Structure 1
Amino acid sequence: MTTTLYLSDLDGTLLASDGTLSAVTRTTINRLVADEGLLFSYATARSYESARVVLAGLDVRIPVAVYGGALIVDGRNGEVLARHGLDGSVVALVLAECRARQLPPLVYEFRDGRDWVRWNRAEESAGTRNYTVSRAGDPRMRPVDSWAELPETDVFYLTIIGGREAIEQAAEALVAPLAGRAHIVVQRDNYFPDEYWLEISAVEANKAVAAAELQRHAGAARLVCFGDNNNDLPMFAVADASFAMANANAMVRGAASAVVAANDDDAVVHQIALLHST
């Protein structure tokens, strides 16, 4: 029998619209993994720490992709297996652009064997506050007191959160200077619809490369992907079959092999159960 890796995005896809994992999804995946050897993994813009909390009780036995593919980690304990970092000159350029536009960034640094989140608490935006408040108690969170203290080395990911116009203008300004040097994604926030995220990572740090790495780790011959937002498009392009949620944006729905029901209807696990049984 041909082995298949089922790879899902989290927010807006595997998770319900309130950011939780349903009992139906948890129970069904756990049963298929334990009883039938299902190969299941996820690729998310979340950190492992954040994903671990919302996926509590889910049996994930193989590596997963976090930070949009910037890190590949062990799905059981978060041990980093692969990392794609940004060149310091890219980080310096992005920070300068952010400062000029008064768009405070979140800077993700890998140091002392783990990931940290840095931001300038002297100039927080509404988006930054929403992010940090929702992660109260997260051990990664390490604010600094000035722009000068934001790191430029050992950085693997940057996120800027703001209104659509400001984010799209910043992205447009960065496309040419970062061409061939970084991967850029703009997408709408799943939980704060007036906010947009500009995500910047290494060229190799995208869900297409991550999907290939995870498929190799799993030893699977086929790849089936599920997603709802722009950062899922790269993995759709390399999948043997791709499924967009009914709640996905039009671009994602158009790129998918098929459209399934919405995330609030446990569509991912129902489709996996159907495919795995045939």
Structure 2
Amino acid sequence: MMKKFYISDLDGTLLNPYGEVTSRSFDILNTLLSEGMDLTFATARTASTALKILEGIPLQIPVILMNGVAVYDTRKSAYTEEAGLQSEQSLAALEILANRAAPAFVYTIEENQLFCYNPPFLNESMRQFRLHREERYSKKFTDISRYEELAEERIIYFTLVGSKSELTPVYKALSSVSGLECLLYEDVYEDDWFLEVHRKGVSKGTTALKLKDSLQAGELIVFGDNLNDLPLFAAADYRFATANGKEAVRQAADQIIGPNTHDSVAEELWRLWKQEKRTFFMPRADASFRGEQDFGL
């Protein structure tokens, strides 16, 4: 039998509109993993927030973070892969940001620890982004007075948050730098947009294929909702989009499932696993998955 490898995005896909794994999805995922499903997640989030969201889920395969730039093994509590920028790319990006007074969170990984730096001139969207992550996830931020302080650092990622009109000129300027990949897409929670910048040629898709090869899997099955999931879709053998997904993502999908307001991803994973393993039970919507299991959908 061909080995299957499953990857799901988090926000807008597995997670509910509050950015949480529901108790039902949590129970389904735990059972699937305990029964041997090859499953992991791919997200734009960093380890600081993604690991707290996934806490209690016994992942055996490393998690894809920051749109493929970093890979984190929860069993080893360590990054197993990171794709840093070349020095000339980092310096060019920092110069553009400084000249435009564009606020950006700047990420590095040093001695297996992620650092997030930010300048003093944050816009309101980025202030709220920082406050939310500090309060909800205890994420740490390091203040800098100017971007030049990071000139010697090995930068792996930039994140900017704001309106589309605010970010588009910065997107165009950074996109002109050779070797940089720039993603501009809408937030699933607020009326903001994200601009994320990293090394060209690295994506959720390229990193997913590396994991697929390491597992010697024959088929990659993925779930997504937003534009940054399109590289993951391009790498996959079969693609599921949630009903709330962006039109371009739904058009690229092989199948559209329910929205993230339900447990659509977890339930579809269960159906796939049931089909693969020829099991015939599904938990009731009002029952704990750890207890008695019932015939289902």
For residue 116 of structure 1, what is the aligned residue in structure 2?
A: 115
Tell me if 1:198 matches 2:181: no
For residue 126 of structure 2, what is the aligned residue in structure 1?
A: 128
For residue 229 of structure 2, what is the aligned residue in structure 1?
A: 232
Tell me if 1:67 matches 2:66: yes
Shift of 1:152: 5.0
Cα offsets for 1:162-200 (capped at 9, x unmatched): 11112122212222333xx0221111112212x111111
Please identify, of 163-172 and 7-16, the stretch whose mean Cα deviation from structure 2 is larger: 163-172
Tell me if 1:155 matches 2:165: no
TM-score, length-scaled by structure 2: 0.87
Distance 2:140 2:201 in 1: 23
Letter in 1 for 2:199: A
For residue 170 of structure 1, what is the aligned residue in structure 2?
A: 170
Query: Do 1:233 and 1:252's aligned partners in 2 also have CA atoms closer than 8 Å?
Result: yes
For residue 182 of structure 1, what is the aligned residue in structure 2?
A: 180
Query: Do 1:7 and 1:225's aligned partners in 2 also have CA atoms closer than 8 Å?
Result: yes
> What secondary structure sits across from 2:141 in the alignment?
coil
Tell me if 1:46 matches 2:45: yes
Query: Do 2:183 and 2:228's aligned partners in 1 also have CA atoms closer than 8 Å?
Result: yes
In structure 2, the CA distance between the partners of 1:78 and 1:48, relative to structure 1 (3 Å rule), is: farther
Distance 1:124 1:143 in 2: 11
Shift of 1:238: 1.2
Shift of 1:102: 2.6
Shift of 1:221: 1.5
Query: Do 2:93 and 2:177's aligned partners in 1 also have CA atoms closer than 8 Å?
Result: no
TM-score, length-scaled by structure 1: 0.93
Distance 1:172 1:118 in 2: 23
Letter in 1 for 2:56: G
- Unaligned 5+ segments in structure 2 are 276-297
In structure 2, the CA distance between the partners of 1:130 and 1:150, relative to structure 1 (3 Å rule), is: farther
Letter in 1 for 2:209: A
1:6-25 correspondence runs (5 A): 6-25=6-25
For residue 31 of structure 1, what is the aligned residue in structure 2?
A: 31
Aligned-residue CA RMSD (Å): 1.6
For residue 78 of structure 2, what is the aligned residue in structure 1?
A: 79
Cα offsets for 1:61-86 (capped at 9, x unmatched): 11111111111110335311111111
For residue 280 of structure 2, what is the aligned residue in structure 1?
A: none
Letter in 1 for 2:188: N
Shift of 1:254: 0.9
Please identify, of 258-267 and 132-141, the stretch whose mean Cα deviation from structure 2 is larger: 132-141
Distance 2:223 2:160 in 1: 25
For residue 245 of structure 1, what is the aligned residue in structure 2?
A: 242
Shift of 1:250: 0.8
Query: Do 1:116 and 1:140's aligned partners in 2 also have CA atoms closer than 8 Å?
Result: yes
Structure 1 or 2, whichever has the larger Rg, is 2
Tell me if 1:209 matches 2:202: no
Shift of 1:123: 0.8
In structure 2, the CA distance between the partners of 1:240 and 1:101, relative to structure 1 (3 Å rule), is: same
Distance 2:265 2:152 in 1: 38
Distance 2:15 2:48 in 1: 16
- Unaligned 5+ segments in structure 1 are none
> What secondary structure sits across from 1:157 in the alignment?
strand
